[in-house]
Amino acid sequence: MTRFARPAGLAAASLALTLFSAAPAVSVAPPLSDAHVLAHLDLAAGQAPENIVLEPDGSADVTFIGARQIARIGLDGHTQVLATLPAPAVPATPLVGFAAVTGIARADDGTLYVNYATGTEDLTGVWRLSPGGVPERIAALPANGLPNGLALDQQHGDLYVADSVLGTVWRVSLQDGTRTAWATGTELQPAGFIGANGLRKHHGAIWVSNTDRGTILRIPICPDGSAGPIETRATGLDGIDDFGFTGQGDNLLAARNTANEIVYVTPGGAPTVVLTQQDGLSNPTSVAVCGDTVYVTSAAFFTLQDPNLLLARITA
């Protein structure tokens, strides 16, 4: 997921902050304000949002990790299931055990791409959902891995995938589905549980979070397309899941899942907590930014209460 330009629907997104609000936030901190829950989701139906990408009208496409679903949440808070991926006969996904739909990316023509991890050779990989179509696998990934974060490089026709178990960033060709182990290294490896997790393409590089190590990494894309040296850009982010850039240089907002926090990270600065459980977070998983509007998904993995989609505004 890359930075998002200001879409035509931004005014509607701003309106949604007012129309579909929960109780006023009590702990939201600069540069964020006006934190409100846009949509309360149904945990019993498996609506635990893992990742998010935005539509031009400001609606949000999300993955429901355990329900194997791709869904769209409108600015009226309505949730529409777009597709359900096929279930494996016997799921054997590393770490989690169940079939998991994780990262999501969007092409300009509305095509959605998602990662699907099942622990089986026939289903694990990158799947495509064309507008009005049905999901189809376009690239296989190792069944003993856990494909997680996903980003699209539309200019070069590639997808980048963070593997949380194998500590690898895969590059997948949209042309023929071939995969390449684009980047590997200790910095991407797990240190007991989950390694490389969230992934974004930003300013000529692939940025990756490592949950176990509490880091955000930057991997330059070299002129020949290969991976440059892995650079550590932020530390002290224990339990980090995914993240999104604010549009101001390399400033970003990161979801700390188990801490129920969104933190604001600036180059060389200490992370600052800007959203907490008091604002509506319930194990936040991912962040997307559209103009001055911030979208945060919460999956309630551990709280088991109120998975949701929260909106806030960047005021600084």
Q: Which amino acid is at 260?
A: N
pLDDT at 178: 98
Q: What is the mean pLDDT of residues 294-299?
A: 98
Q: Does the pLDDT of residue 210 top 60, yes or no?
A: yes
pLDDT at 251: 97
- As given in the structure block, the two tokens for residue 13 are 């997104």
Please, where are the H alpha helices in the chain? 10-19
Residues in the chain: 316
Q: Does the pLDDT of residue 17 top 70, yes or no?
A: no
Mean pLDDT score of the chain, rounded to an integer?
92
The pLDDT tens digits of the residues spanning 211-234 come to 999 999 999 999 999 999 999 999
- As given in the structure block, the two tokens for residue 163 are 């593997």
Which of 10-24, 62-76, 107-121, 195-209 is least confident? 10-24
pLDDT at 65: 98
d(CA 176, CA 172): 9
Q: Which amino acid is at 107?
A: A
- Contact (CB, 8 A) for 168 and 184: yes
* Of 298, 305, 245, nearest in space to 38 by CA: 298
Provide the pLDDT confidence category of residue 159 given band limits of 50, 70 and 90: very high
- The pTM for the full model equals 0.91
Q: What is the mean pLDDT of residues 141-148?
A: 98
CA–CA–CA angle 291, 292, 295 (5° rounding): 90
Q: Does the pLDDT of residue 142 top 50, yes or no?
A: yes
pLDDT at 248: 73
Q: What is the mean pLDDT of residues 288-292?
A: 96
Q: What is the mean pLDDT of residues 296-305?
A: 98
Residue 14 phi/psi, 5-degree rounding, is -65, -40
SS3 readout for 79-121: EEEEEECCCCCCCCCCCCCCCEEEEEEECCCCCEEEEEECCCC
State yes or no: cis peptide before 31, omega within 30 of 0.
yes
Strand, coil or helix: 294: strand
- As given in the structure block, the two tokens for residue 225 are 């397309």
Provide the pLDDT confidence category of residue 114 given band limits of 50, 70 and 90: very high
Q: Does the pLDDT of residue 152 top 60, yes or no?
A: yes
- Contact (CB, 8 A) for 118 and 86: no
pLDDT at 229: 98
- Contact (CB, 8 A) for 289 and 312: no
List beta partners, residue 201: 206
Q: Does the pLDDT of residue 3 top 90, yes or no?
A: no
Which of 12-21, 147-156, 159-168, 264-273 is least confident? 12-21
Q: What is the mean pLDDT of residues 278-287?
A: 98
